[in-house]
Every structure is written in structure tokens, then in C-alpha cells.
Amino acid sequence: MRLTPGTGKGIDLGLVDLFDLDLYTSGDPHAVWDLMRESAPLHHQVLPDGREFWSVTRYDDVCRVLGDHRDFTSERGTVVTHLGVDDVAAGRLMTSTDPPRHTQVRRAIGARLTARAVAPWEDRIRQAVARFLEPALDGGPFDLAERALLLPALVTGPILGIPERDWEELVQLTAMVTAPSDPHFRHGSEAATLAISHHELVTYVTEWVSRRRAAGGEDGSLLDHLMNVRAGDAPLTDEEIALDGYSILLGANVTTPHTVSGTVHALVERPEQFQKAQADPSLVPNLVEEGLRWTSAACNFMRYAVHDTEIAGGTVPARGAVVAWIGSANRDDSQFADPHTFDITRRAAKRHVAFGFGPHFCIGGPLARLTLRVFFEELLQRFASIELDGEPQHLRSFFIAGMTHLPIVAQKRQTP
């Protein structure tokens, strides 16, 4: 989706359809969210099929919906593509589980994904990033968005324990989950595309686990860790392993590539920011935070109100679905001055909620931060400049803000 908004003139919030995929492919959602934050902080929409949902767009409200499980439960599903259909994996899939069970599982799995735990992988990630950037060094056309889909494979594949030959298909499957209507990924109907991708991903993890068990021992990978952790004094069930393994694969694959593409695109459009980062590599960590805020790849997450709940000047009725628009919260001027300015020196950048907020804060966040920092360090060290080589194409999804094509050409840096 378009990351720099236009004027937003002529938008009628009563008529806006937040589930209109064209809004994200070729429209201007930021202009819509600006208006929602200003004049309809609790927005209600009924879809033609009768399903309805409420939206919060302000930073504080988004944090509350994401973080307060007593009022807003995750146990009926958290992904908007499933609005109205209770999650069949509730209470077993970690992301669809509330505390206290969530806390037990999260603590056990998360121990391997803290900043300290992932730090030793830095050299390996750097090598993978160098390999990834290599083909762009000859100055020829390079479709960053397309290629970036495979970046998590190179980086996290070995960490997860998944052989490289499987990644291309896994990347295809995870993309189907996030954008079942995008012609790049659709297979039959939207429902069929979602079911196929869920089915094959869960089956993949299940088969991985049985092969691992048959082989015996431990291989030190993250999936192996899932098989061996104890949560609340018992190991995870096979179903929990399959579902959380699926969830980790999904999380690794579908957000990082779009953060990379969106941030590079922002730098391409603003050569002065690119030069600033190049002149002072110590700015890279903050560039990463600003890139996360700017792109907000996970555009929203959903919760359901447990009871009638007052928020944002209105009331969400018991069992009502609430969509917390992360992309909007990250442009709220109560937190971010000149929110639509991409500024790698922004002081408050790290306050973004691109990784979510509260108990379900992205479990892979530290690994993503490490990967993105290394990526931009290597990029800035190798390339003197980057230019667009064609029109970017946006992902057809209201869940993931991303690109399917970002053609670029890069000039090699002569004096590193």
C-alpha cells in the first residue's frame, strides 16, 4: 500500500470500505486513517454479507486493544481475513490464546528468541545478507520486493531448522495466507487459498516433527526447541507444536521482506536520508526503527470484545470484533511529530507498535531488528545510490502492507 498519503480530499468515512482491497493496492489508506483518528476514532463498518467490525486508529486505543486481554480477547482469532469465523485453533495456537496459558507457552518459546539469544547469529545473518545483495552489485535491474520474499529463508531458515530447498514453496504458502486475493498467490477462491496454505503449512511442520523424532537427538533449531520446551510443566502437544511452528514460519516470512522493501523505497525517494545514513552508520539502528514505523508491515490485528466495552468515545458491544490499525497508530501525531515524514533521526521512532503491543508483542521482534540492522549496514556499505527502475506494485491485502514488485538499480560504492 501507498505509504505517503495524498490530500485525502473528498473522503466520506460513512462510505469508506476498509476491506476494499483496491484501497490497499492503488488507494490511499493513510489519508483515510488520518481522518478516522481525527473524527471517527471508533469506526463501525458493516460488510455487505452482514459481518461487522469496529476499528480503532489512535495510538493509545490500538495499544489498549492489543494489550488488554481482559476486555479484548485473542481466543476467537486475531487475523482480519477470518472475521466472523471463530478461530478453530483457539487456546492451542499461541497467538489465539490469552493469559495465563499464553504466558506459559510464550515464556518457554520466547527464551530462544530474546535479543541476547539471537545475538550469536549475527555473523551468519551477515553472510546471508551479503549473498542476497550480491546479484544487485552489477548495476542491472533487481526486483527487490520479489527477491526479498526469500530473504527470511536465507536468514532464518537455518535458525528454524528448515533446509533451503523447502523455502521457496514455504514462502509461496505463507504469502497465500497473507494475501489470498492477490493474483500472485491466489489458488481457486480466497477461502480455498487460505485453506490450502494453512493445511500445507501445518502438514509441513507435522511431517518435519515426525522426521525429527525418527532421527532422534536434538539439532538445536527453533522447531526442535518447540518439540522440547516445557510450558506449565508439560511439553507442548503435537498440535501446539504444529500450530506454533506454522505461526513462527508465517511471522518470519511475511513481514520482514515488506519492511525491507518499504524502507528501501522510502530511502530511494529521499536521497538525502540515504546519504545521511551512509555518512553515519551509527544511525542505522534508528533507521530500522523508522522503517518499521513507516512501513508497519503487519497493518492490523483483531480482537473481540469480551463484554460491552467503552473505548475511543464509544462502546463496542460484547462479542464485537475490533480491528486495531497498527499502520494508523504509527502515524498518530500525538506520538510522532510530522508523522508522514520519513526521518531516520526521529527521536521517538522506537515507540512504534509495528511489532504489536502487550503480551502478544512479536516474538521474533529481536531477530527481525537484528536482521534489518545487518541488512541496512550491508546495503549502505555496498551501494552508493539506489534508483527506481519501474513502478512499484502493492500487495493486494488489508492485513499485510507490502509490495510485490520494487524494481531498482543500484550503483556500487567505490570507497567503502
Partner 1 sequence: MELGPRVHQQDGQGKAPEPQAAPSDASVSLAHEISVLWGEYLDGREVGADDDFFALGGNSLIGIKIIDRMLRDYGVELSVRDFYVAQTPARVAELIAQGRPRT
Residues that bind partner 1 (CB under 8 A): 85, 88-89, 165-166, 169-170, 173, 187-189, 191-192, 194-196, 198-200, 202-204, 207
Q: Which is nearer to partner 1, 215 or 279 (CB)?
A: 215
Residue with cell 516470512: 253
In the bound complex, what is the minimum distance in angstroms from residue 67's beta carbon to partner 1? 28
Q: Which is nearer to partner 1, 116 or 165 (CB)?
A: 165
Contact in structure between 260 and 372 (CB atoms under 8 Å): yes
Q: Which is nearer to partner 1, 109 or 249 (CB)?
A: 249
In the bound complex, what is the minimum distance in angstroms from residue 187's beta carbon to partner 1? 6
In the bound complex, what is the minimum distance in angstroms from residue 87's beta carbon to partner 1? 9
Contact in structure between 46 and 52 (CB atoms under 8 Å): yes
Kindly state the cell numbers that stand for 387. 534508483
Q: Which is nearer to partner 1, 9 or 211 (CB)?
A: 211
Q: Which is nearer to partner 1, 207 or 333 (CB)?
A: 207
Q: Which is nearer to partner 1, 70 or 213 (CB)?
A: 213
Contact in structure between 333 and 339 (CB atoms under 8 Å): yes
Kindly state the cell numbers that stand for 173. 504458502
In the bound complex, what is the minimum distance in angstroms from residue 195's beta carbon to partner 1? 5
Contacts of residue 110, defined as CB under 8 A and 6 or more positions apart, other chains included, come to 363
Nearest to 301 by CA among 79, 54, 102: 79
In the bound complex, what is the minimum distance in angstroms from residue 395's beta carbon to partner 1? 22
DSSP secondary structure of 339-401: TTS--TT-TTGGG--TT-SGGGS-TTHHHHHHHHHHHHHHHHHHEEEEEE-S--EE-S-SSB-
Strand 72-73 with 142-143, pairing: unpaired
Phi, psi of 57 (to 5 degrees): -130, -15
In the bound complex, what is the minimum distance in angstroms from residue 164's beta carbon to partner 1? 12
Nearest to 89 by CA among 309, 250, 241, 278: 241
Q: Which is nearer to partner 1, 115 or 192 (CB)?
A: 192
In the bound complex, what is the minimum distance in angstroms from residue 205's beta carbon to partner 1? 11
